[in-house]
Amino acid sequence: MGHQQFDTTSKSKSPGTETDIAVQVERMNLNGLRRVTQEHQQLLEQTRRHLRDHISSRMGELLLLGHTMLNEYCELCAGILMEDRQGVRCCVACDLVNTELAGGQNNRTTVSNNDDQNDIATERSNMSQSSSNEVFQPPAQFPSTDSPAESFHSPVERSFSMRTVRSERLTVDVGTSPHADLLGSGNVQVAIQAVDDKLKWCAERLKSCENVEEVMKLYEAIDCGIEILKHFMGASH
């Protein structure tokens, strides 16, 4: 009888009213479901910040590869679209999420990441032994993916860290620093100037914009642009 009365009461409420929402929340508590705590909300905000940082870093990488930041947005996530030299467009945010989802379906992802780390350590050891008679500065040690400092990172951040390790591994193999040559490249300077110009455009557009949705997109574009500039400014010091 109690279950039937529960259904009858829920049907008598009109959807979309504040009373109905309050009743639903109360029933959720009675059924053992809890509201989102402040701790969970903080964790969610931290994960969002990590994702934005990775998106900004990835956009910086694509700019170095010759991609163009468009004044258009993804229909799924409202993220900024980028276009390569062949005219192929992509959404950086969607690509990162899809890559992580594809990796999550394979239970061997963690094992393969550990294997990559072991391969890097083995190759470093062999390289050190073969060049014992040469003057060679040892490469920086990369942190293990099992270290406590990275245990709380989001899956997207761990995936991006592995790609960073691989790119730095290639840099160490040829005996050059990651940013020494890139920052002096004319293409890099052009890309940085393009980002700065887009920031100015977004700021001017934001002053006169009254559409809430467009304002939020401009906020996101400005945030990404600032992160990209901070990334290269930090690397130049």
Closest to 235 in 3D by CA, of 191, 188, 183? 183
The 10s digit of each residue's pLDDT in 56-82 is 888 888 888 888 888 888 888 888 888
Cβ–Cβ < 8 Å for 121, 98 = no
The 10s digit of each residue's pLDDT in 35-55 is 667 777 788 788 888 888 888
The 10s digit of each residue's pLDDT in 1-17 is 445 454 444 444 444 45
Q: Which phi and psi angles does 82 have, rounded to 5°?
A: -125, 155
The 10s digit of each residue's pLDDT in 111-149 is 445 555 566 666 666 665 554 444 444 444 444 444 444
Give the Cα separation of 26 and 211 in Å (integer). 36
Q: Kind and range of the H or E element at 24?
A: helix 18-30
Q: Which phi and psi angles does 79 have, rounded to 5°?
A: -80, 160
**DSSP-derived secondary structure letter, 147:** S
Q: What is the DSSP string of 39-108?
A: HHHHHHHHHHHHHHHHHHHHHHHHHHTT-EEEEEE-TTT-PEEEE-TTS-EEEHHHHHHHHHHHHHT-TT
Cβ–Cβ < 8 Å for 80, 221 = yes
